[in-house]
Amino acid sequence: MDSRARGPALLIPAHDAAQSLPPLLAEIARALPGLPVLVVDDGSGDGTAAAARAGGAELFAHLARQGKGVALRRGWEILFRRGHGAVLSLDADGQHDPAEGPRFLERWAASGAELVVGDRGLRRAAMPWDRRLSNRLSTRLLAWRAGRPLADSQCGYRLLARGLWERLELRGRHFELESEMLLQAAALGARLEQVPVSQRPADAASHTRRLPDTLRFLACLARGGGR
pLDDT one-digit tens code per residue, 136-185: 788 888 788 888 888 888 899 999 999 999 999 998 988 889 999 999 99
Q: What is the mean pLDDT of residues 5-34?
A: 96
* Dist. CA 174–CA 67, nearest whole Å: 5
Cα 153 to chain center, whole Å? 11
- Name the CATH topology of 9-223: Spore Coat Polysaccharide Biosynthesis Protein SpsA; Chain A (3.90.550)
Element spanning 178, H or E: helix 176-187
Residue-wise pLDDT tens digits, 98-143: 999 999 999 999 999 999 999 988 555 555 555 666 777 888 887 8
By the 10 Å C-beta count (0-12 exposed, 13-18 middle, 19+ buried), 173 is classed as middle
pLDDT score recorded for residue 2 = 43
For 35-128, where are the alpha helices, taking DSSP H only?
48-54, 68-81, 101-111
DSSP 3-state of 61: strand
DSSP 3-state of 11: strand
* Dist. CA 133–CA 214, nearest whole Å: 13
pLDDT band at 210 (very low <50, low <70, confident <90, very high): low
Chain mean pLDDT for the chain: 88
Closest CA to 24 of 70, 65, 62, 57: 57
> CA 192, 185, 36: angle at the middle one, nearest 5?
70
pLDDT score recorded for residue 153 = 86
Give the global pTM: 0.85
Q: How many CA atoms lie within 13 A of 19 on its CB side?
A: 6
Tally of helices (H runs) and strands (E runs) in the chain? 8, 7
